[in-house]
């Protein structure tokens, strides 16, 4: 049987999570969210990016009780807390950015106040730089 | 960076988003239903032809063939790759951004 090395000591990558789908119509958003949580366990750098209908994932006021589906807005609240903890902890080398593309946000009539978490709003050109400099991009 | 687009540009915005958010000089591979974006004479042909000027645009041959697209129907400058060529693209670029 093959042996795998899961040792991540000293390994530091920047992973971009590219959310492009609205939250409940398909499974994409939930799958990406689970990947984000896994990367947190390995203390990697992460850009959590919301583009196209993905911006709807962090819209305030979601209530999925009648759908009997998991409302993952609270999980994004936890991700924001994790990010703030990492920012404040000098011993922790984990830089997380929560980014929304300006063009996608504006096309959907949203402003940063509509989001559950504090976001960085970047232009398409600025976001293209973020993608190009990532070690890996997880799409969804 | 290699960008892959696997949805038809007539059904989804994947190709538009890829072109908006990729830097000049990128490699872009149209695959699965994304291959329809490589056809000339469509409503998106001009956009793709423009992208060919600034980027290396590829289309996956087996997906094209399966859908009845011939090389003569492709926008000028788009290169056809087979599965081995796909592997080379992945190996020769530092990362893949999937536009699903």
* pLDDT tens sequence across A62-92: 999 999 888 988 998 888 998 898 899 988 8
pTM value is 0.90
For residue A28, what are the β-bridge partners?
none
Domain tally, chain B: 1
ipTM: 0.85
Residue whose entry in the numeric block shows the structure tokens 């000027």: B53
Mean pLDDT computed over every residue of chain A: 92
- What pLDDT is stored for residue A91 in this prediction? 86
Q: Quick one: closest CA in B to A123, which residue? A: B21
Spatial separation of the C-alpha atoms in residues B56 and A125, rounded to whole Å: 19
Six-digit token pair at B56?
């290396």
Give B66's contacts (C-beta < 8 A, 6+ positions apart). none
Q: Identify the residue among A16, A20, A54 best suited for mutation to test binding to B, counting B beta carbons within 10 A and taking the highest.
A: A20
Q: What residues of chain A lie within 8 A of the CB of B27, using their CB?
A: none
Q: What residues of chain B lie within 8 A of the CB of A52, using their CB?
A: 13, 17
Q: Chain A: which residues have CB within 8 Å of chain B?
A: 16, 18, 20-21, 28, 51-52, 101, 103, 124, 127-129, 131-132, 134-137, 139-140
pLDDT in tens, A106-117: 999 999 999 999
Q: What residues of chain A lie within 8 A of the CB of B99, using their CB?
A: 20, 139
Residues of chain B predicted below pLDDT 70: none
The nearest CA of chain B is from the CA of A88 a distance in Å of: 30
- What pLDDT is stored for residue A72 in this prediction? 82
Please check the confidence at residue A2 and state whether its pLDDT lies above 80.
no
Domain of B37 in residue numbering reads as 2-99
Asked if B95 lies within 8 A of A139 by C-beta distance, the reply is no
Q: Of the candidates A69, A75, A81, which has an alpha carbon nearest to the alpha carbon of residue A25?
A: A69
- What pLDDT is stored for residue A110 in this prediction? 96
Please check the confidence at residue A1 and state whether its pLDDT lies above 70.
no
At A136, the pLDDT band (50, 70, 90 cuts) reads very high
Phi and psi angles of residue A32, each rounded to the nearest 5 degrees, phi first:
-65, -45
The domain A14-139 having CATH identifier 3.40.1260.10: the answer here is: yes
Mean pLDDT computed over every residue of chain B: 97
Give the residue extent of every domain in chain A. Answer: 14-139
At A42, the pLDDT band (50, 70, 90 cuts) reads confident
Asked if A131 lies within 8 A of B22 by C-beta distance, the reply is yes
Q: Quick one: closest CA in B to A140, which residue? A: B100
The four Cα atoms A31, A100, A53, B6 give a dihedral, to 10 degrees, of: -70
Asked if A131 lies within 8 A of B98 by C-beta distance, the reply is no
The nearest CA of chain A is from the CA of B87 a distance in Å of: 17
pLDDT in tens, B14-31: 999 999 999 999 999 999
């Amino acid at each position: 049987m093959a042996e795998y090395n899961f040792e991540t000591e000293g390994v530091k990558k920047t992973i971009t999570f590219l959310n492009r789908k609205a939250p409940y119509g398909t499974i994409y958003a939930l799958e990406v969210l689970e990947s984000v949580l896994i990367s947190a366990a390995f203390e990697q750098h992460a850009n959590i990016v919301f583009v196209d209908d993905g911006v709807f994932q962090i819209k305030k006021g979601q209530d999925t009780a009648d759908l009997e589906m998991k409302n993952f807005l609270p999980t994004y609240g936890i991700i924001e807390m994790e990010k703030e903890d990492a920012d404040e902890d000098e011993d922790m080398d984990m830089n997380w950015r929560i980014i929304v593309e300006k063009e996608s946000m504006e096309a959907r009539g949203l402003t940063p106040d509509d989001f559950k978490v504090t976001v960085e709003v970047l232009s398409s050109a600025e976001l293209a730089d973020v993608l190009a400099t990532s070690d890996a991009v997880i799409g969804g | 960076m290699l960008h892959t687009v696997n949805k038809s540009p007539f059904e989804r915005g994947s190709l538009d988003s890829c072109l908006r958010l990729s830097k000049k000089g990128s490699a872009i591979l149209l695959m699965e239903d994304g291959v329809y974006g490589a056809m000339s004479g469509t409503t998106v042909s001009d956009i793709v032809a423009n992208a060919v000027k600034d980027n290396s645009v590829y289309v996956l041959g087996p997906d094209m063939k399966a859908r009845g697209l011939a090389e003569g129907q492709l926008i000028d400058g788009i290169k056809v790759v087979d599965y081995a060529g796909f592997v080379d693209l992945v190996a020769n670029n530092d990362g893949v951004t999937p536009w699903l």
